Amino acid sequence: MISYRTKGIILKKRDLKGADRFLTIYTDRFGKIQMLAKGAKRTTAKLAGHLEDFTLTDLVFIKGKNFNTITSSVSLNRFSYLRNNLERIACAYYIAELIDKLISEVQTDERIFKLILKLFDRLNHPRGKLNLIVRYFELNLADLLGYRPEFERCLNCKNVIKPNKNYFSSKLGGLLCQNCKNQDLKAFEVKPDTIKILRILSEKDIDFVERLVTNSKIDSEVERVTSNFLEFILDEPIRLDSFLENLGCKIKNYRFQ
């Protein structure tokens, strides 16, 4: 059998009968793939500790008829600060679920791998602004997958958006001016300051984004735009509560700060 080597970020794991585990990994060479890790639950196994959730690993695997099997793995970055912070772990679970739902296994894009790695690097930094980091990731992942929202011009009349009353339409994928808001009766108003932040999140790099100063009202509006847009794409909500329950806690209406 031919062996393949790749770098990958462990997104999810599922225990099987016995000591085996099934992993969802996003790799730089093969995109999102499912892999079997035989004996990974045994503490004495050579793979133990190298295939934990949210670990960057250098792995070797073989392709089988029904699934891929990992033969070796070496951790490159365990993102230790992230692991010791409940709020950051919650972010990581949310992002992992978003990637799993939005990306099929046939898609391979090194830009997505770099974006995911950039996200985990930021989550692992004590001063990282979690709300901005997550919103940045949501919009940039959507862009890479071909779902870039329009924040510059009205989707209907094509006029440049002015700092008046404007509305966001998830169905149409962007902003509508006041004259065109009836094109989508579910479109909701978005304030000019929020539109400015949405444009920056879509266009600037993460270093610039993390220097932004926002307030709770803007944060809430930005989150409403991104969450509504992603839920429309997926045709289902992504709930954070279930991820936090897995960590032994439950927080209602939780927002990253």
Residue position matching structure tokens 């169905």: 171
Residue 175: which H helix or E strand, with range?
strand 174-177
Q: At 63, is the pLDDT very low, low, confident or very high (cuts 50, 70, 90)? A: confident
pLDDT tens-digit series, residues 176-223 = 999 999 999 999 999 999 999 999 999 999 999 999 999 999 999 999
Alpha-carbon span 188 to 160, nearest angstrom: 18
